[in-house]
Structure 1
Amino acid sequence: MTSEIVTGGCQCERIRYAVAIADDDAYLCHCRMCQRATGGVSIAFKNVKIADVEWTTREPERYQSSPIAHRGHCRECGTPLTFEFLKPGETMDLTVGSFDAPGRFVPKHHFAIESMHEAWIDTRGLPGIRSEDNPSTADRWMEAVGKLPD
């Protein structure tokens, strides 16, 4: 696969990026640092070359999340954007959810499986509810902006 420029950013669009990627491989990190940083049971990352990332509006704010790493985020909306080692190599991670088209990425492995929550890995058997089928949510969106979110 040849490199392709893809875009992403935070929820409020204060921070935007463009990055050259060569494949759609991604991974899920289950480490306790990622769980605490996101409030989730795991986080999906796309590993990219630092040199291939262009912050098109502004760089994210960063905080040191552990003795070895810092994380980029938007201070306004709170969107987690990056995982970067304090002593950088050639690569960093971008959060899959921050890409404009996250559905293209495919998880290829799990990382930090010692803190994986197995019950959250395969949820196919659970019933599903569409956003528009939940009046409490749908009515609020329609009243606020006249449509459901993308």
Structure 2
Amino acid sequence: MKRIEMELSGGCQCGAVRYRATAMFDNSHLCHCRMCQKASGGIFAALVAAPDDALSWTRGKPSVWKSSELVERGFCANCGTPLFFHHLENGRTNLMIGSLDDPHAFPPHANTCTENMVTWFDTITAIENTGATETNGADWAAAIKKSSNQHPDHDTAEWAVTGRDR
């Protein structure tokens, strides 16, 4: 696994927990294990690792739950966003790619724990792409954007957890 010196940031949906990394590993992957399915609430967890010595929490601290003797998982206690998978013995923290400010930077290179992959996973790229911003159309998307409390995809000097930075 190659270490890449770079800077990136990310955090939870509400902005109460933010992080910064100064290096990453080139291990972006989709984990299909049952623990990752449950922890993410999805059919897989999209993960990429930061060396523990290159990761810092810049706003708030994640809540942590030890999902096994070897693994702890971090999330925001305020909004529930899953943030990471941390193996306690390998010196790296796998961040949820969706929590990165730029999730496009880490396309997955592998599927892991495929024995738990949902049977229809291989069919999702064939599903129709309707192009709609939201299933209820442009009016719905505009209303959500206008009232959104979601933290922007960049660091902010200040952020009220229930506020908006516009």
Establish whether TM, by shorter chain, passes 0.5.
Answer: yes
> 2:161: which partner in 1?
none
SS at match of 1:81: strand
Partner residue, 1:16: 18
Q: What is the aligned partner in structure 2 of residue 139 from structure 1?
A: 139
- Kept in 2: contact 1:12–1:76 (CA 8 A): yes
Offset, 1:90: 1.4
Over 3 Å counting, the alpha-carbon distance change for 1:21 and 1:139 in structure 2 is: same
Structure 2 counterpart SS, 1:56: strand
User: For 1:114, what is the secondary structure of its paired residue?
Assistant: helix
Q: Could you say if the C-alpha distance between residues 2 and 46 of structure 1 is closer, same or farther in structure 2, counting changes exceeding 3 Å?
A: closer
Q: Distance in 2 between matches of 1:11 and 1:48?
A: 20
CA contact (8 A) 1:41 1:116 kept: yes
TM-score of the two chains, using structure 2 as the length reference = 0.77
- TM-score under structure 1 length normalisation: 0.85
Whether the 8 Å CA contact 2:33–2:112 is kept in 1: the answer is yes
CA distance in 2, matches of 1:88, 1:7: 24
Q: Which 5+ residue runs of structure 1 have no aligned equivalent?
A: none
Q: Which moved more, 1:118-127 or 1:99-108?
A: 118-127
SS at match of 1:3: strand
Q: Would you say 1:51 and 2:57 are equivalent positions?
A: no
Counterpart residue number, 1:42: 44
Once residues 66 and 137 of structure 1 are traced to their aligned partners in structure 2, the CA distance between those partners, rounded to angstroms, is: 42
Provide the aligned length of Structure 1 versus Structure 2: 148
Contact 1:141 1:147 in 2 (8 A): no
Equivalent residue runs for 1:1-150 within 5 Å: 3-22=5-24, 25-85=27-87, 87-132=88-133, 134=135, 136=136, 138-146=138-146
Tell me the distance in 1 between the aligned counterparts of 2:102 and 2:147.
20
- The Cα RMSD (Å) is 2.5
1:7-43 Cα shifts (integer Å, max 9, x gaps): 1000011111110235654111000001111121101
Question: Shift of the alpha carbon at 1:133?
Answer: 6.1
Task: Measure the CA separation in 1 of the matches of 2:142 and 2:73.
Answer: 34
- 1:63 is displaced (CA, Å) by 0.9
SS in 1 for 2:133: helix
